[in-house]
Each structure stands twice: as structure tokens, then as C-alpha cells.
Structure 1
Amino acid sequence: MVVMLRYVWPLLLCSPCLLIQIPDEYKGHHVLEPPVITEQSPRRLVVFPTDDISLKCEARGRPQVEFRWTKDGIHFKPKEELGVVVHEAPYSGSFTIEGNNSFAQRFQGIYRCYASNKLGTAMSHEIQLVAEGAPKWPKETVKPVEVEEGESVVLPCNPPPSAAPLRIYWMNSKILHIKQDERVSMGQNEDLYFANVLTSDNHSDYICNAHFPGTRTIIQKEPIDLRVKPTNSMIDRKPRLLFPTNSSSRLVALQGQSLILECIAEGFPTPTIKWLHPSDPSPTDRVIYQNHNKTLQLLNVGEEDDGEYTCLAENSLGSARHAYYVTVEAAPYWLQKPQSHLYGPGETARLDCQVQGRPQPEITWRINGMSMETVNKDQKYRIEQGSLILSNVQPSDTMVTQCEARNQHGLLLANAYIYVVQLPARILTKDNQTYMAVEGSTAYLLCKAFGAPVPSVQWLDEEGTTVLQDERFFPYANGTLSIRDLQANDTGRYFCQAANDQNNVTILANLQVKAPEKNPVDVRGEGNETNNMVITWK
């Protein structure tokens, strides 16, 4: 192969890195890989009677990984469970629970998957399986609600509990939605609030409908009979809060999520609601007012949203207020996530696990899925400010580590392996390449080598002597040899040798240095027509 040196390549001189990255050209040569989880079920899995239940856990590794599961911290064998089908596929430990809802109820719990080969064990996050039964409204006797015209009233809904969000609709027996406005509205608790009732509200068919999207089911509460007694003297009254009922409350909002505050008032005339944020103007681009201003939704909560939020209900007779004192906290989130790396023998391995949260999360380390307390204590292991450090690592120290960070709002998990490799030296540049250059220029002879430990590289002439005795020859850290101010007698064969504690290998590089070609001088053209012109030069 002939390489023409027409450009000066931007080669960078850098000190050797401690961390090893196996080049793509080397990877096909029987390099092993610790287990890496590639796919897993979400942290919370809600299943319904008509669903098949699939718990997913897939991982890659070399040699091929083996899988095991735990349920509520106890060893769980899917193959031995009735109604469970294990996915017989490479790199998969997933399984499916088939059958009716009674199966789902039996398999509720918290699952974890472990993927192992001889280099270590990777671990999935906790997977909570929640089985939702067919929804049923509790049996109850619904008595008529009697109220005098102008008074307030609350019609309760109390839908069945559900692991998945519901959609609630208040309708009548003709399947028409109950009209909602400043006077009549549904709260976040699904109850229907009347700030004051009118005789036109007198109906016997106020029905709360609960839509369960997961089961594609809508169930109805027994109709509520609202009986309004007419009066000729409706009494004006100043606002009073129906929700919340006290003067203040404290809430915790989670960073990055939405915060919903609500105030529903009664009175006559119908009160209006406005919101105050005395400590700081509300961020208008993230605030949404809904339900005729009775609901304030703050999107993407941040630390700056800490503080007091006040709702003010007003009419011509006075006002009522409620103060929400909001504290912003946060589930754990990554500042620095531990990363998998390859190391050579004798190096120091460091895995950084830096997290933030409010309250500050507690960090724990595992090795191959086992807590540090159960692992044999070794002087080379130490934890400093959340980082796991291993000194003087050897191939037997190859492992998969897990960093867990937890507070009351959530859990983070990261797998990261320490792979201590011993790989023979290989030169990845093709052997017997020919490089052509001209006198006075600079030649670059390539010698990309890899191994673990990192091989040393030296360049030799045909006599086996180092070429570095000539100051025009300079070796780069990546193995490339540069020769500046080329001379004709630099033509020849050069040998690149790479060696580590396991072997040494050599390739040949041929260099041809040519004299520069001279530009023509005294160029002359004779003849009048282009086709017959004769050009001469010296």
C-alpha cells in the first residue's frame, strides 16, 4: 500500500491515559465483556385483568449472561411457577405471566433481575408489579340532599381507589355533563361544589362517573337527589372556603414536577378567586389557572418556587383567604453518574457517584449485586465522599458495581463495571505500508498499537538501532514517528516494535524520499491557431 504524504496531519501529543478503551479494530479478538443491562421493565408496572404480565430484563455480555430474579427480596424462579412462560432467547431473562386476574394478584410484589457471567453481576432497578382488579363502586345508600336556595352544598363522589389515574365526569341520567362555572365546579378530590344553589339546580340525577382507562371501563355512582327549597329572601354572605377549610397548610412540591393548588369558596354573591405570591412574582410562563381560577398549576417546579402562595376569595361582603406554604424537595438526580471503564493491572480504579436531592440522598454501594457488608473486606476498597476507589487492581478485581441513591422521594441506580484486562500487544496499522514524500518535507509513519498493559512503542532502523539518535526523528504518544527535513538518504525500511509483559510485535514501514520536481521555464508557443500551436520549454 502506498501512502502519499500531501498534508500535515494534526497529531496531538498527549500523556498516556490510565483508562483503557479497546479500539474497534481490536474488539473482534475474543475480548470478554462484563454484563450490561440493556432493557428492563419500568419501575412501576400496573396490570389489568385483560393484560398479559411481562417482566422484561435483557443484558449483553461475553461470555453469555445468565439471569436470576428476586421477588420481595426472596429468590424467585420463573420456570418453576405455574402460568409463567420464560422467554427462551439469547441475552434475555424476561418472562410473561399468563392467565386470569387471580394470577396477577398472586404475583404482586417488588422484583429485581440479576444478569451474571464470570466477570460479574449487573442488577436491574426495583420493579413494582401492581395488579388492578375489576373496578366496583362500594355499595352505599345515597340519601337525598336537602338545601335551601342560596346555601352551599358539596356532592361527594368517593370513587373506588385505583393504582392508575382516573377520569371523573359529573353527568345526569341523559348523559349530559353538569355545567360548571364560577358557582358550580368539581374539585381535585372529584366532589362537586356549589358556592350557592339555585332552584334550577333541583335535580334527582347528579351522577359521578369514573373512567378507568386501564380496564377501559366506566362505572357510575348511585344518582344523588339534590332538593333545593325555594326562598324569597336569599341572604347575602361573605366568602367562606369549602376547600381547604383551614387558614393555612404546608405542602411539599417535587422539583421538575407540577404543583397543583386549589381553593373553592362558597358565598352569595358567588365569590371570585385570585392568587398572590408575596415573596416573588409568579413565573407567568409556567403558571396555568384553571377551573375558573380556583386551581393554580405550576409547571416544572424548581427550587426558586419555594414560598407562600395565597388564594383570596372575594365578593361584595368581604373575603376569605388560605395560605399555602410550599417547600420544594427533589428525588435523587445525577450530578456525576459512575461509568464503566477498563483498567490495566496495577492501576487505581475510581468510580464517582455524585447525586443531589432534597433531602440529601443516602448513597450505598454494591459489588456484583451484593451489599458491601456481605463482601469480603479488602484493604484496596475504600469509599470517599460517595466515590468507590480500588487501588492496585488486578484481573481478579474485575466486577460490576452498583451505586444506589435514595431518599423518601425516589431511588436511583447505576451499574458500572471495573474490567481489569490483560491483552497481548497488537499493532493495528497495516504491515509493509509504503510512504512517499519529497525532500525537505515531513513524513509521518503510522504505528497504532494496543494492549493491556499499554504497550511501549519504539522505532528501529534496518540494523535494529533506535532512530531517535537523529534529532529530526520524533515519536508521538500514539506511536506515530515524524521525520522532518527529509533527505534522500532517509529512504529505507523502518520497523515499529510494540511490547508489553505478554508479547512483542513488529511491523515494517517503507519510506521513499524523492527529489522535488522542477517547474518548467522559458515556456514558448508558436502558431496562430490553437489546434496547431507548438509549445516548447526548458
Structure 2
Amino acid sequence: SVGTILSSRATLWFAYLEMFKSQTRSAVSVREGQGVVLLCGPPSHSGELTFTWVFNEYPNFIQQDSRRFVSQVTGNLYIAKVEPSDVGNYTCVVINSVTKGKVLSSSTPLVLRTDGKICSLLLTNGVPFPSKVKVQKSSAVLEIPDFQQEDAGGYECVAENTRGKNVARGLSVFTAKPQWIQTATDTALAIGEKLLWECKANGKPKPSYSWLRNGETLATEVRSFSQQSLLNLSDAAMYQCVAENKHGVLYSSAELLVLASPPDFTGRPLRTLLKARAGTEVVLECRPQAYPQAVTLWKKGNEILHRTERILLLPGGTLKIINVTKADGGSYTCMARNQFGTASTTGRLLITGETMKLQ
């Protein structure tokens, strides 16, 4: 087995739904043409809830339409452009989707105010709204489609009539669970190398980070993870970056393989015979598979080759001979060595006739 990773967290709850508190709810007064929100305030519970509202008498349930909406998140009832026919008593009905239990709140009276009509103006941070914001001034309703982080901020409603002016202020906050921008990927490195991984997520509030190795915590509050010492075989494992805020947790997994092997020319030997014309350039590559990278040495016959004006020993083990002559022909051997062993490969270089020069 390679290692261990953690799954996302799971929570087990037992569903229940308590009764509403038996207390009288205060009347809600609203002017005709305005919008209003009736609060449900569901009792203590566990398990998903669904909400409906009763108008005056059970079971006269509110039918949602272009003016009336029941939030299945809060249970609140929203009524736009209140009409005289909306006056009455409203009762919130809460149903537990798991237990099927049902409870009813005390009724909330809705009454009309008769102290004059208002003119409403809505502002955000003292500046005009973006074009996407929809404002219904007659009912003081503000709608922001596709709410984004840049829409968060302070909002105010200015209400005035012949008797004076009043201002109500509110603050909208943008929140979001983490979403990955950058994650660690499966990596294979040679023993003795160094590792650097980085992960990054957006979210509101800003996510915190931690790193796990085979399910055990390695580091916290850092987006990047690096192995400060040189890698060894025991570092091979499954690693995870965890990004978390109060709205959610993300796990990103990556496997680290640590490679260790002696040089091997099985897949990349020198050609048994290489022909070249005199006066040309010859390139011989020494590319064994080795972890860590092998140190290379070139021989011609039994003599070790050294760098000259014509013989170049390039990085990576490549041998280049410029302006070859008959004397460069012969047997060439590349020898490779690392801490796990040695290997070699041999090929023969044959130089053909001298290059002819035209007068």
C-alpha cells in the first residue's frame, strides 16, 4: 500500500422537532403597496425542515405567486406590495422531513397603517446602484440578482413624506465555502531531491490551511509544504492539503513517490556502431536511468577522456567531438555511477573517408 488519506467529515444526527413557545406574537403593521416579511423563527430541531404558512384558518395554506414567497431556508414569508386583502392572521407551519413531525406557531396579525404614503429611495454606501440591481421604489424592495462579493456592503433606505424623513441602514455580507484555485499533484522525485507543493483556495471568510501525511497533521496555517531536508525513502506517502472556513472543508490529495535505483542503460544504450565522415561533428549521448542522477565518465579504449578544444564533455553526460579525424575512430564507453551502483555502455565509432575540398 502507498499510504492513507482522510475523507471529508461526516456527522450523524438524530432528527427531532420541538414545539413552538406558546407566546403571543406582536402585530406587524405595513402601509398599502409596501413589502413585508413575517418571521417564522422555527423551534429547536435536527433534520431538514420544510415550511408553509396558513392564512387565518387551518388548512387555508398560502399559495406562492408573484407577490408571496416562503423561504425554505429561514421559513419567513415575504409579501410584496401589500393589499387590503392581505390583512389577517398568519401562522407558520414547520414539518421535519425526516420524522414527518409538524408544529404550528402562534399567529402573527398583519394590519395596514394609515398614516400616509411614503416615497422610498435606496442607496448603497452613498453611491448609485450597479445596473444589475433592481429597485421597486413604490414598495421599497431591493433585489440583487447573482449576488457576488463586490455587492457586499452597507445599504440604506431613505423614507420620507410630508411629515419628515427617516433612514434605515443595513449591511449585506458575502460568504462562500472554499473552492480550489491550485492543488498539489502526484509527484515522483529521486532520493536526495527536495519537494515543494503549494495549494490555494478562495472563500469568504478566507480559508485556513493544514497539511496531512497519511492522515496525520504535518503543518498548519501554511499554503505551501516543503521538505526541508533531502528526500529519503521513508518520505514516500500520501499527502493532503486541507482548506477550511466555517462554511465548508476541502481536501486535496497527492502521492509522493521517492525513486532510488542504480544506473541502467537497458533502455538507452550507445549504438553498437556509429559511422561519421571525417571533418564532421559527432555527438554521443550517455543517458542512463538512475535515481539519483548518475555521475558519468567517458573512455576511449582504456583511456579516460578529458576536455580539449575538439572534445567537449557537456552537462548531462553528452560527449561531442568536433572535426573528427581517422584517429578519433575506436571504442567509446560511458560509465555511470551513483550511490546505489555503477553501469556502462560501449559503442564503436567508425570514421569514413576524408572530406573532399573543391578547388
The aligned runs of 1:25-44 (5 Å cut-off) are none
Cα distance per residue 1:399-448 (max 9 Å; x no partner): 54555455545545455565544212112314535545545443332332
- Give the stretch that moved more between structures: 507-516 or 218-227: 218-227
User: Residue 237 in 1 paired to residue 237 in 2?
Assistant: no
Question: Is the partner of 1:322 in helix, strand or coil?
Answer: strand
Match of 2:290 in 1: 451
Distance 1:358 1:175 in 2: 38
Cα distance per residue 1:203-251 (max 9 Å; x no partner): 89x8979899x98xx999879999999x9xx834355xxxxxxxxxxxx
Are the structure 2 counterparts of residues 198 and 149 from structure 1 closer, same or farther at C-alpha, using a change threshold of 3 Å? Answer: farther
Are the structure 2 counterparts of residues 437 and 196 from structure 1 closer, same or farther at C-alpha, using a change threshold of 3 Å? Answer: same
Q: Is the 8 A contact 1:353 1:386 kept in 2?
A: yes
**Residue 277 of structure 1 aligns to which amino acid in structure 2?**
N
Question: Is the partner of 2:149 in helix, strand or coil?
Answer: coil
Distance 1:166 1:440 in 2: 89
The aligned runs of 1:39-54 (5 Å cut-off) are none
Question: Is the partner of 2:268 in helix, strand or coil?
Answer: coil
**Residue 235 of structure 1 aligns to which amino acid in structure 2?**
T
Q: Residue 6 of structure 2: which of 121, 124, 144 is its match?
A: 124
Structure 1 residue 455 displacement after superposition: 1.0
Match of 2:229 in 1: 391
**Residue 215 of structure 2 aligns to which amino acid in structure 1?**
G
Distance 1:435 1:515 in 2: 14
Distance 1:170 1:417 in 2: 57
**What residue ranges of structure 1 are gaps of 5+ in the alignment?**
1-64, 66-116, 240-270, 374-382, 519-538
Distance 1:224 1:211 in 2: 15
Cα distance per residue 1:367-391 (max 9 Å; x no partner): 4333469xxxxxxxxx999755442
Question: Is the partner of 2:347 in helix, strand or coil?
Answer: strand
Q: Is the 8 A contact 1:331 1:357 kept in 2?
A: yes
Cα distance per residue 1:57-108 (max 9 Å; x no partner): xxxxxxxx3xxxxxxxxxxxxxxxxxxxxxxxxxxxxxxxxxxxxxxxxxxx
Match of 2:155 in 1: 309
Distance 1:176 1:515 in 2: 102
Are the structure 2 counterparts of residues 439 and 164 from structure 1 closer, same or farther at C-alpha, using a change threshold of 3 Å? Answer: farther
User: Residue 191 in 1 paired to residue 77 in 2?
Assistant: yes
Distance 2:7 2:88 in 1: 52
Are the structure 2 counterparts of residues 132 and 227 from structure 1 closer, same or farther at C-alpha, using a change threshold of 3 Å? Answer: same
**Residue 475 of structure 1 aligns to which amino acid in structure 2?**
L
The CA RMSD over aligned residues, in Å, is 5.6
Match of 1:322 in 2: 168
Match of 1:485 in 2: 323
Structure 1 residue 506 displacement after superposition: 1.9
Are the structure 2 counterparts of residues 333 and 486 from structure 1 closer, same or farther at C-alpha, using a change threshold of 3 Å? Answer: farther
TM-score, normalised relative to structure 2: 0.64
Are the structure 2 counterparts of residues 471 and 328 from structure 1 closer, same or farther at C-alpha, using a change threshold of 3 Å? Answer: farther
**Residue 83 of structure 2 aligns to which amino acid in structure 1?**
V
Q: Is the 8 A contact 1:363 1:386 kept in 2?
A: no
Q: Residue 442 of structure 1: which of 277, 281, 304 is its match?
A: 281
Match of 2:122 in 1: 274
Question: Is the partner of 1:122 in helix, strand or coil?
Answer: coil
The aligned runs of 1:472-511 (5 Å cut-off) are 472-487=310-325, 489-511=327-349
Corresponding pairs, count: 342
The aligned runs of 1:177-188 (5 Å cut-off) are 177-181=63-67
Match of 1:296 in 2: 144
Q: Is the 8 A contact 2:133 2:142 kept in 1?
A: no
Distance 1:350 1:290 in 2: 51
Distance 1:146 1:356 in 2: 44
Distance 2:109 2:251 in 1: 57
Q: Is the 8 A contact 1:423 1:452 kept in 2?
A: yes
Q: Is the 8 A contact 2:53 2:93 kept in 1?
A: yes
Question: Is the partner of 1:479 in helix, strand or coil?
Answer: coil
The aligned runs of 1:350-365 (5 Å cut-off) are 364-365=210-211
Distance 2:274 2:53 in 1: 80
Match of 2:309 in 1: 471
Distance 2:95 2:335 in 1: 74
The alignment-based identity, stated in percent, is: 20
Structure 1 residue 393 displacement after superposition: 4.6
Distance 1:272 1:510 in 2: 94
**What residue ranges of structure 2 are gaps of 5+ in the alignment?**
none
Structure 1 residue 342 displacement after superposition: 4.7
Distance 1:507 1:390 in 2: 36
Distance 2:156 2:30 in 1: 30
Are the structure 2 counterparts of residues 207 and 179 from structure 1 closer, same or farther at C-alpha, using a change threshold of 3 Å? Answer: farther
Structure 1 residue 504 displacement after superposition: 1.7
Distance 2:38 2:180 in 1: 45
